[in-house]
Amino acid sequence: MKKNKKLSLIEVISMAVGTMIGASIFSIFGLGAKIAGNDLPEAFILSGIYALVVAYSYAILGGKIISNAGPIAFILKGLGDSIVTGALSILMWLTYVISVSLFVKGFAGYLLPFIHVESTTFAVGIVEVIVISFFTALNFFGSKSVGRAEFYIVLVKLLILLVFILGGFMTINWGMAKPGFDTVHTTGLLNASIIFSFHIWVSDLLQMHLKI
C-alpha cells in the first residue's frame, strides 16, 4: 500500500459531496420525496439546517481533536475508554456497512436498466461485488488516489444532476410545491427531513475517517 499523501481541499470537498449525492439524492431521494409529498423543498431546507449544525460541531471538534478515529475520538475524549464508547464504535461501523450496501444497491438499480439488463438478484449481486471490489482495490493506493478519482466521479454526477435540474425548471408546476401545514403534511415533512439528514450525517462520519 502506498503511503497516504495529504488531500487537497477540492479532493476533500469532492469526497464529501460525492458521498452525500450518492446517499441522499441517488439512493434515498425517492423515499424522502414519497414521504414529504408537496413539502419536499421544505424538507430539504430543514435537512440543510440539521447538516449545518452537525458541520459546525465537527469543525470545532475536528480543529481541537486531530485523529483518524473521527467522531469516535470525540466520544473517547468526552467519555473515556468505556463500554459505551466501544458500543458506539461498533454501532458506527455497522452504520458504515449499511450505508455502503445502500450505495452499491442503488448504483446497481440505476446501471442495470441503463444497459438494458434485467434486474435479477444475481445481476444485482454481480454489480455490487464489482463495485465494492473496485473501490476496495482503489483504497490500497492511498487516500490521495481515492480523492483524485472521487473528483472526476463527482464531476460526472454533477453534470447528470445539472441536466435534471435544467429539465425540471422547464417543466416544474409550482402549484404542486405549495406546502401544507396540517398534521399529516407536517409529520411527513419532519420525517423526510430526518431521513435526508441521517444520510448527510452518515456521509460526514465517513469523511471524518479520512487521513487529511
Matching residue, cell 464529501: 16
**pLDDT tens column, 126-171:** 998 998 898 888 878 877 777 788 888 888 888 888 888 888 878 8
For residue 115, which phi and psi values (nearest 5 degrees)? Answer: -100, 15
1 falls within a domain: no
Domain count, the chain: 1
**pLDDT tens column, 103-123:** 788 788 888 988 988 888 899
CATH of the domain at 63: 1.20.1740.10
> Rounded to an integer, what distance in angstroms lies between the CA atom of residue 32 and that of residue 196?
7
Determine the average pLDDT of the residues in 181-207: 68
Reported confidence tier of residue 203, pLDDT bands at 50, 70, 90: low
The amino acid at residue 162 is: L
Question: 113 lies in which domain range?
Answer: 9-172+179-208
